[in-house]
Chains A and B, each alone.
Chain A
Amino acid sequence: MPAEKKTETESRVVLVKRTNPRADPERSEYLFEELRELARAAGYVPVGQLTQTRFPDSRYQLGKGKIEELAELVKQRRAGKVIFYNRLSTIQLFNISEICGCQVIDKFQLILEIFAKRATTRRSKLQVELARLRYEIPRARAIVSLVKKEERAGFMGLGDYEDAYEQDLKKRITRIEEELESAGKDDESLRAFRHRKGFSLVALAGYTNAGKSTLFNAIVDESVEAQNMLFTTLVPTTRALDLGGRKALLTDTVGFIEELPHWLVDAFKSTLDEIFLSDLILLVVDVSERPDIILQKLSTSHDTLWDRIQGVPVITVLNKIDLLEESELEAVMEEIGYMAPNPVFVSAKKKIGMQELKAEITKHLPAWSFYSFSLPNSEKGMSILSWLYDEGIVHRVEYGEQISVDYEAREDIINRIKSLELGPDE
């Protein structure tokens, strides 16, 4: 469901955030800036903002007086929508929109809007729809109750509509889950096929807007869409990665964001599986940001990855080093080192550090074995040699009465060579 073009009023939004007392003001400002970025990524123009430091009010999230101030601001700035950083309950959404006289959404609905806008494939559209329905379920009953408040119960009332609405949502969720599950099975078999063909799977992961797509383009010489915007990548893109003989496939994936709710992560499970089921993860970080922000983003990434990736090695790719002096970089590493496994420094934009990164990738790929053996110098031997070139790295080949080969490949390929009863070169 691509986002339609917004009218001028529709695109004007007021951003709102409630902050807990004693929260770090710098961090609060940073999170508010992230909300601004998200709004821009969805095609909105922020025309006003409002914050309040207090514990949440159950009816309005902010205090009632502040909501009235918000309504005034909406009117004054001719805004068509209010976007809250904080998660809003159905009651709060209803109450605030009643007072402000315009649509009110929270950060999670905003993320869903962005995802919907970026969804180009059938699968990503289904994932967005699934996330939206899962978000809707707990609210379904409350929405109907609110609508029914004005209705008379019993004859000509809404009757069983409440249950019917919820049942309908559940049915649609089941249908989409089934469809995504069968697509997931296709993915599994594709991954298995790629593994069988000797490809190692490498995935790019990291916080949204860390430069994953730019790095992807730099390292595989591609031109996938990369923008200075949150959630540019929604559909995973996979390309072959040349590692000097070792065959690998690199996949660019959707970024992480703080407090991403589990229902959203679950909905995008098949996309995120590209990361979780890879042989190696490149965790991309924008090293030009403030160390405390880098740490927060790394923490979010680690939180998303830690219990899903088993023993998969992680390389931390510290991107945008062209924006820092060497001494600054050392200072940053001093602070973030404990969160950055296997660090590699690159600038994707300037293509600095690509060889070092490839060397680090090769170092962490599943181990290959060396084997020296001889082949008969015949048509059969030549066809085996041709297959060997496809499956691994031929380090040396000498043609004599027999063909002597020094070879490096995956364990199962070496075992197949041995099963051909080709004795090792003594």
Chain B
Amino acid sequence: MWDIIAVDISGRHRIEGGYYMVCAAAALTVSADHIEKVKQVKILPVWLKRAPGLLDVVQLIEDTANQLSFEGTIVAEKGDMYNQPLWVPESMFSRPFKYQESMAERRAIELAHHISLSARNLLIKELNIEA
């Protein structure tokens, strides 16, 4: 069993007035092919006036993961890091970081994606944000 923090960001496209992004971080215990336990989930929304860069994305993920009382490797999709080679984001994070590899990690990212997307949709509706 391995402890991971699966992360995903929704809303990296421009809307009225800037970028409204929501990051989801799910603290999980996984085996090679299954999510064995979901320990905690945290979300963090952020407004940006300009297009987000890699540093913004790393910062948002770190801030979301820091809300979890859980030690684990942060796992993200390569696309979330603008398809940079692993060493680039790895050197920016203060925690262990990796791209998804195993079936369980891919399923974990999928879970985080559903959480971030539905949380963002809900927030946009509740806060009357022009999407």
Contact = CB atoms under 8 A, between A and B. Distances in A.
Interface string B69-104: 000000000000000010100000000000001110
A338 B110 CA distance: 18
B33 A298 contact: no
B47 interface: no
A302 B102 CA distance: 6
B106 A302 contact: yes
A307 interface: yes
B2 A338 contact: yes
A70 to B, nearest CB: 26
B32 interface: yes
A23 B84 CA distance: 11
Interface in A252-287: none
Nearest to A309: B103
A341 interface: yes
Contacts, number: 39
Interface string A157-183: 000000000000000000000000000
B57 to A, nearest CB: 20
B121 to A, nearest CB: 22
B33 A314 contact: yes
A314 B103 CA distance: 10
Range of interface residues on B (Cβ < 8 Å): 10 to 19
B75 to A, nearest CB: 11
Contacts of A299: 101-102
A302 B85 contact: no
A339 interface: yes
Interface in A298-318: 298-299, 302-303, 305-307, 313-314, 316
Contacts of A363: none
Contacts of B107: 306
A76 B112 CA distance: 55
Contacts of B101: 295, 298-299, 302, 338-339
A149 interface: no
Interface string B9-44: 000000000000000000000011110000000000
Contact of B102 (A20, A22, A339): A339
B22 to A, nearest CB: 23
A219 interface: no
Nearest to A316: B32
A340 B85 CA distance: 24
Among B33, B101, B102, residue most surrounded by chain A Cβ atoms (within 10 Å): B33
B80 to A, nearest CB: 16
B77 to A, nearest CB: 11
26 contacts: A20-B85, A23-B85, A295-B101, A298-B101, A298-B102, A299-B102, A302-B33, A302-B101, A302-B102, A302-B106, A303-B106, A305-B103, A306-B103, A306-B107, A307-B106, A313-B33, A316-B32, A337-B32, A338-B2, A338-B32, A338-B102, A339-B32, A339-B101, A339-B102, A340-B32, A341-B31
State the 6 A-B residue pairs at the shortest beta-carbon distance, nearest first.
A341-B32, A341-B33, A306-B103, A306-B106, A299-B101, A302-B103
